Chains A and B, each alone.
Chain A
Amino acid sequence: MNILAGRLRRMAALLGLFTLLLARPQPLWAQWNDPYPQRDSGRNILYAAFTERPKRLDPAQAYSSDEYTIISQIYEPPFEYQYLLRPYTLVPLTARAIPKPVYLDSKGRRLPADAPADRIAYSVYTIHIRHGILYQPSPCFARNASGQYLYQSLTAAQLRGIRTLSGFRHTGTRELVAADYVYEIKRLASPWVQSPLFSVLRHYIVGFKRFARTVGHLRATLPRVDGRPPYIDLAQVPMVGVKVLGRYTYSIEVRGKYPQFLYWMAMPFFAPMPPEAAHFFSQPGMARRDLTLDWYAVGTGPYMLTVNNPAREMVLQRNPNYHPDFYPRRGDSSDVKDGLLKDAGMRLPFINRVVFIRERETIPYWDKFMQGYYDESGVSAESFNQVVQYSPGGQAQLTPAMRARGIRLVTSTAPSIMYYGFNMLDPVVGGYSRRSRLLRRAISIAINTRQYILIFRNGRGIPAQSPLPPGIFGYQPGCAGRDPYVYDCVDGRIRRKPIAVARRLLAEAGYPDGRDQRTGKPLLLYYDTPETGPEAKANMDWMRKQFRKLNIQLVIRSTDYNRFQQKMRQGEEQIFSWGWNADYPDPEDFLMLLYGPNSEVKFNGENSANYNDPEFNRLFNEMRNMNNGPARAAIIRRMVSLVQRDAPWVWGYYPVSYLLRQAWVHNVKPNYMATNNLKYLRLDPALRARDRKAWNRPVVWPLWVIAALLVAVMLPAVLVYRQKERKSPL
C-alpha cells in the first residue's frame, strides 16, 4: 500500500467523523452562531452594545451619551425625568419632593415667589432626600468586625495581585446621606477634576469660584506624597452656597433667578459621591492598576458595574441593595394602548443583568440583531428598506417580514438639531451686510435638506425652520413656524423656494451665476467637516452638488476631529456642519447657541457661528429666567425671526429616530432626557430563546459542496499519482 492512499483513507475516516458531528441531532452548540456562552441562554439578561469605550465614568466628568448609558443606571441624582409623560417632567428620585426655590434680594431678604426677576439676587433650593437608601456593595465601605475600614489605608502588600475591583474580597455598604451630594458638588468645583460643567456652574452657585481657588491653592501648596498631589478632603473645606443642613437635607444657593437649575440637578453631575469612594480610589497604586472612578462606579442606582473590559464587554449587574422604586402609574394617553402601563406600580428593575458588547461597526450589530442576539436596534440607512415601508397615508410601518418576527417599531423626534453654520466672522459668508445676508439665504435655499434626509436618512428627519426642535417650548409646527426666507407655504404645506429664487438672491448679492461681479472670478467657498474616511465621501459629493446648483465651487476641508475643533475655536472655518443635543428640555439650551456672549471664538462658548446681534442678546437675557408662558413664547418668536432674517445657520434637520425592539422586550419608550431607562425595561427570555433557535438554523449543505469539490480535485490527483508511480522514476 502506498503512503498517499493510506493518507486518503485516514482523511476519509476523519471526514466521516466530521459528518457524525454535523449530523448529530443536538449539535455541539444549540445555535452555531451564538456569540454568547451557552450557560447564559434563557437568562434574564439584556444585550446591548457600545462602539467606543466610554472614556469617563466619573459623574463629575462624564458628559456624552455613551457615558450616560452606563453611569445613569448607577448614579442617582436627586431628580429624574418621568419615564412616560411628555412634555418632559421632573419627578423626585432620591429626593422626597421637587424643591420650590426661596428667592432672596441682594440683602438676603426673602421675596415672594412671584417677585420680578430683576429683584431676585439669590434663589435657595433646599433638598430633602429619602431615608434608608443604601449604596451598592463596594470594597470602599468594607469594614472589619471592629468597625475599621479594611481598604482605606491600603499597603502595597494588600494590593499585590489585584487588577480589578473584584480582587478585593470584602464589601460593605452605607446609607446615603445629604453630605454625599454636597461632596460631589465640591468635586465639580475642584479644578483637577476638570468637570465640563465648571464653566457653567461658576456663574451660578454662590461660593463656587472661591471654593475652586481655595482647594486649588491647597493642592498646590500642601506637600506632595510620593510625587503625587496630596489628597484633599473636600468635606473639610466649606463652600458658602452649598450647605449640609442635616443628615438628609442640603441646600444650594444660586445667583439670580435660574429655573433651569433644577434640570442640571437631574443630570449625573449632581449625583452623590461617597467620600469613602473618592478616597479609596485616590490611594497610591490604585490608578496604576486601572482602579479609578473612570473605570468603576459606586452609586445607589438599580445596577452596578461588575465587569469593565473596554476591549470586549461591560456588565451591569442588579444592585442587591437597591431602594424601593416603582414603575410609573401615570403616562400619556397613548401609553395604555401601547401596553406601557401594564407594569405600573411594579418594583424596579426588571432585568437582572445588562451586558454591553463592544461592537465597532453597525453592520455586525445589525446582523446580530436580526439573529436575535441583540434586543434593541436603531435602523441604519442600509437596512432601512428592509425594515420600514410607508402606508398609503405616509405612515412609517414595519415590513411584513419584520412584523412576522414580532419586531416592533418605535419612532420619536429627538430634541436635537443638525445644522450647517456660517462663520459670521468670515469676510465672505459672515457679517451683517445685505450682501452677505442674501448670499447666506441663497445658500440656505440651495441646500436641499429634505433631499438630504431622503437620501442619507431615508426620510427620518424634519427639515428645520429654526434652532428650536419639536418638543421644546417655543417650537412652532406647520406654516406658521416656517422660515419665510427659505420656505413658501403652499396649500398649508411648507415648501422650499425654487432654486431660481436662490439664483436671483445670489445675483442680488453680487455674484451673478456664481461669479463675483467685481472681479469676474468664480465664487469659491469652503466647507469644514470633521468627517473623514470613505463613508463621508457620498456626503461630500452631495454637498458639492448642492452648491453646484448655484454654480458655486465648494472646497471641502475635512480634517480629523481635533483639528476641526481647533479651527472652530480660532474662527478659521467658513461653512461647517454641526449638531446639538439638548442638555435639558428648555429653549434656553438651544437659543444660547446663537447668543453673542457665548461666541466660540471670542468667549470659548458654544455659539460656533459666532452670531452676535444686540437685539437677540437682549431678548435672550430677558427670556432665560422666565417661566414658560405666552410672554416667553412671544419673546422666543421674536428671537427666532431675528435669526431667520440673518440666516447664520442653514437650518438642517431635526433627526427622527426609529428604534426597533424585539418581541421579547417590553416597556420601551424613547426618553431623551431620562438616560436611566434600563430599569424600566422588561424581558421575556423564554420567548427569546425560542426565537433565536428558530432564526439561527445553520445551513450546512454548502460545506458538503466544498468537501465534494475538494474530493473532485483530489480524485484526478490520485489517478495521476497512480499513473506516475507505475512508470519508473525519471
Chain B
Amino acid sequence: MIRYIIRRLLYAIPILVGVNVLTFALFFFVNTPNDMARFHLGIKRVTPQAITEWKIEHGYNDPLFYNARAPGIDKLTRTIFFQHSVKLLVFDFGQSDSGRDIGYDIRQRMWPSLAIQVPTFVVGLAVYISVALMTVFFRGTYLDLGGVILAVVMMSISMLFYVIGGQYLFSKVLRLVPISGYDTGLSAFKFVVLPVVLGIVSGIGASMRLYRTFFLEEAPRDYVRTARAKGLSEIRVLFRHVLKNAMIPILTGVVVVIPTLFIGGLIMESFFGIPGLGAYTIDAVRSQDFGIVHAMVYLGAVLYIVGLIMTDLAYTLVDPRVRLE
C-alpha cells in the first residue's frame, strides 16, 4: 500500500515538470518580460531604463529557457524558467509581481473558496444521490418520467442563467441575502448560502441523470433480487445494496470534480464577490501576473494528482475486489 502510494507520487513528478514547461511556454509566448514590466510600471511616463530596472529587480532579465552567455551548467539554470520552476517544485511560490507572498495569499484565499465549494460539493452530492435514488425508486411511474424530463431541461440551461437569475431574484428583488461580499466565521453564512444553492441547482440535472443510470445498472442484478426476495423493503434495498455498489462509478466521477472545484469557483466567486482562489486567478490573468498563474496551475495539477491517488485508495475501501498492484 505505502509502496504503491510512493510509486504513484514518483510518477507524479514528470507530470508536474511537464505541466510546468507547458504553462511556462504558453504564458511567456503571450507575455514577454518587457510587457510585464510596462504593465506593472503603470500608464504614464515609463522610461526604458525603468523597465530594465524592474526586470532586474524581479528576476526577469535572464533568458527564458537557455542562457547562452552563462558558463557550464548555468546555461540551463540561469534562466527564468529554471529559477521559477525549481522553487515551485518544493511549494515555494515566491512573490507575485506586485510584491506579495503568493503562498500566504493562497492560504488566505483558500478559505472563502472552500466555504463555497465544500458545501456545494457535499450537500450537492447528497441531494443528487437522493434525487436519483428517488427516481429509481419510482421508476416506471410518471414521477420518474417527469424527473428525467426535468433533468434534461435543467441540464440544457447554461449555468450562467441560474447565476444571473438567482442573483437577480434573491438578492436584488427579494433582498434575502447580500448582493455580494464576504465575511469570515459564522457571518459567512449569508454570503455563501445563495452561491451554494445555485451551484447545487445548476448541477442537479446532469448529476441526477448520471447517477440514475448508475443505479439502474445495479438494480436488475441478482443480489438485488435476492435482497428483495428476502423481504427487505424497497428503501432498504436501495440504500443498503444498490447505493453501495453504485458508489464505485460515483466515486470516479467525484474525483474528476475535485480539480474543477477551482474552476467552478471562477464564475461563482466573480459573480458574488467572494475573495477566493477563483477570483485570485482571474485577477492574476487580468493583471498578467505570471507568478500567480504559474502557482495556481501547479497547485491545480498537484491537487488533480492527489485526487487520482485518492480514488485508487477509495476503490479498495468500497470494493474489496480491487487490489492495488
Contacts and interface: CB of A to CB of B under 8 A. Distances in A.
Report if A and B touch in the complex (beta carbons < 8 A).
yes
Interface of A: 2-4, 29, 31-35, 37, 52-53, 55-56, 61, 63-64, 163, 191-192, 194, 196-200, 287-290, 292, 294-295, 309-312, 357-361, 364, 367-368, 371, 373, 560-563, 565-566, 604, 606, 696-700, 702-703, 716-717, 720-721, 724-725, 729-730
A359 B273 contact: yes
A729 B231 contact: yes
Interface string B104-144: 11001100000000000000000000000010011001010
Contacts of B179: 33, 35, 364, 367-368, 371
Contacts of B31: 562
B134 A717 contact: yes
A288 B190 contact: no
Contact of B182 (A56, A64, A194, A312): A312
Interface stretch (B1-9, B19-27, B49-57, B241-249): B49-57
B39 A561 contact: yes
B288 A562 contact: yes
Interface in B15-45: 31, 35, 38-45
Given A194-B53, A289-B101, A725-B233, A699 B44 contact: no
A contact face: mostly helix, strand, loop, or mixed: loop
A175 B168 CA distance: 53
A55 B228 contact: no
Given A565-B38, A720-B143, A729-B228, 20 more contacts: A2-B235, A3-B233, A29-B190, A33-B177, A35-B181, A63-B43, A199-B47, A288-B95, A289-B104, A290-B104, A294-B99, A311-B280, A364-B179, A368-B179, A371-B175, A697-B175, A700-B174, A720-B138, A724-B138, A730-B225
B150 to A, nearest CB: 10
Contacts of B41: 194, 196
B138 A287 contact: no
A28 to B, nearest CB: 9
Contact of A37 (B173, B183, B233): B183
A708 to B, nearest CB: 16
Contacts of B236: 3
Given A2-B233, A37-B187, A606 B44 contact: yes
A699 B175 contact: yes
Contacts of B101: 288-290
A32 B180 contact: no
Nearest to A723: B141
Nearest to B170: A702
B99 A287 contact: yes
Given A3-B235, A367-B179, A199 B171 contact: no
A603 to B, nearest CB: 11
Nearest 7 CB-CB pairings of A with B: A311-B275, A35-B178, A35-B181, A364-B180, A699-B174, A196-B45, A194-B50
A288 B39 CA distance: 22
B28 to A, nearest CB: 13
B101 to A, nearest CB: 6
Contacts of A32: 175-177, 190
B72 interface: no
Contacts of A35: 178-181, 183, 191
30 contacts: A3-B233, A32-B176, A33-B175, A33-B176, A33-B190, A35-B183, A37-B187, A55-B98, A63-B44, A64-B42, A192-B57, A194-B53, A198-B47, A200-B45, A289-B104, A295-B100, A311-B105, A311-B279, A360-B273, A364-B179, A367-B171, A367-B179, A371-B179, A560-B288, A699-B175, A702-B169, A721-B138, A724-B138, A729-B231, A729-B234
A191 B49 contact: yes
B320 interface: no
Contacts of A288: 95, 101
Contacts of B182: 312
Contacts of B180: 35, 359, 364, 368
Contacts of B67: none
B270 interface: yes
B48 interface: yes
B172 interface: yes
A696 B47 contact: no
A717 B143 contact: yes
A360 B270 contact: yes
Contact of B47 (A34, A53, A604, A716): A604
B46 interface: yes
B273 A358 contact: yes
Nearest to A163: B104
Contacts of B35: 562-563, 566
A270 to B, nearest CB: 16
Given A55-B98, A720-B143, A696 B42 contact: no
Contacts of B171: 33, 367
A238 to B, nearest CB: 23
B71 to A, nearest CB: 19
Contacts of A31: 175
Contacts of A53: 283
Interface string B87-105: 0000000010011110011
A604 B47 CA distance: 7
A196 B44 contact: yes
A716 B147 CA distance: 13
Contact of B172 (A37, A199, A367, A717): A367
B42 A63 contact: yes
Contacts of B273: 358-361, 364
A539 B38 CA distance: 26
B126 to A, nearest CB: 14
A289 B39 CA distance: 23
Nearest to B144: A720
Contacts of A52: 287
Best-buried of B38, B174, B225 by chain A (most CB within 10 Å): B174
Contacts of B108: 309, 311
A697 B49 CA distance: 58
Contact of A196 (B42, B190, B234): B42
Nearest to B173: A699
A201 B304 CA distance: 53
